[in-house]
Amino acid sequence: MNKKIGIGIGIVIAVFLIVKGLSFFKSAGSSQNDNLGKDNAASLYEQAVALEAASEPLEARELYKKIVADFSDFDKIEDVQKKLEAINTKIILSSMETPSTVIYIVEPGDSLAKIAKKHKTTVALIKKSNQLKSDVIRVGQKIRIWKDTFSVFVDKSQNILILKSNGEIVKVYAVSTGANNSTPVGTFKIVVKQVNPVWFKSGQVIPPESPENVLGTRWMGFDNPPDYGIHGTTEPQNIGKQVTAGCVRMRNADVEELYDFLPEGTEVTVVD
């Protein structure tokens, strides 16, 4: 064999071995990083669960949020998301003071309705977060108010409704949207809220107690078009499907929860 050829072949083999070696170490390093990531996620999860058990929901929430943001492939990610949603809701409904709350001192002439309107919240949310059994309040009483603005995002392609507070996700709900993609897209405002709504169908008045009334237990109507909105359902088995006449349907328990959070004027964005 020619000496130069032999040297050339030797160089090629050496380069090949180096490349393979680098590939091996890169693969091994990647595997180690994956394992490290899983270990970090598991450690954060254990810490969050312990904090939650120790009645430290704010600290637990931050760890759950970090897992969702940084470790989307964590094998318990669905459980983490559910825990995060539950703790978000718990914080909003609690009497806990947070950066998202203010303490209001009741003044002469105040009512819960006036206070709710002033702070762009709902009477129901004020009552729940202050453990009030009635609408009676007294001058000088301290009232905890959730001050962050709620908004709603509906994704028709996934049939989900996302509740946000100050732009951050609070909770994701499964919903039904319009058959044949009939739910209008755009940005709307909730202008009408009704408990146990009457359904006006083709000139007929269908009372809330009728099994033919598909609106369920709550109605939150949009400004434009006015015939569309978010409501409950008498057909929970169809949640997650595109089956409505154009409105957004929710399970009754879910729409009742959402109803208490959202004041009139809340912005709703619907996308395909």
Buried b / exposed e across 25-54, counting CB within 10 Å, b at 16+? Answer: eeeeeeeeeeeeeeeebeebbeebbebbee
Beta strands at 177-178 and 242-244: parallel, antiparallel or unpaired: parallel
Q: In the numeric block, which tokens belong to residue 119?
A: 């702070």
Catalytic residue among 83, 231, 249, 251: 231
Question: Nearest Cα to 150, choosing from 121, 173, 192?
Answer: 121
231 catalytic per annotation: yes
Q: Are 63 and 98 in contact (CB under 8 A)?
A: no
Q: What's the Cα-to-Cα distance from 82 to each of 64, 132, 152, 173, 272, rounded to whole Å?
A: 10, 28, 18, 11, 25
Catalytic residue among 247, 250, 255, 262: 247
Q: Are 103 and 97 in contact (CB under 8 A)?
A: yes
247 catalytic per annotation: yes
Provide the annotated active-site residues: 231, 247
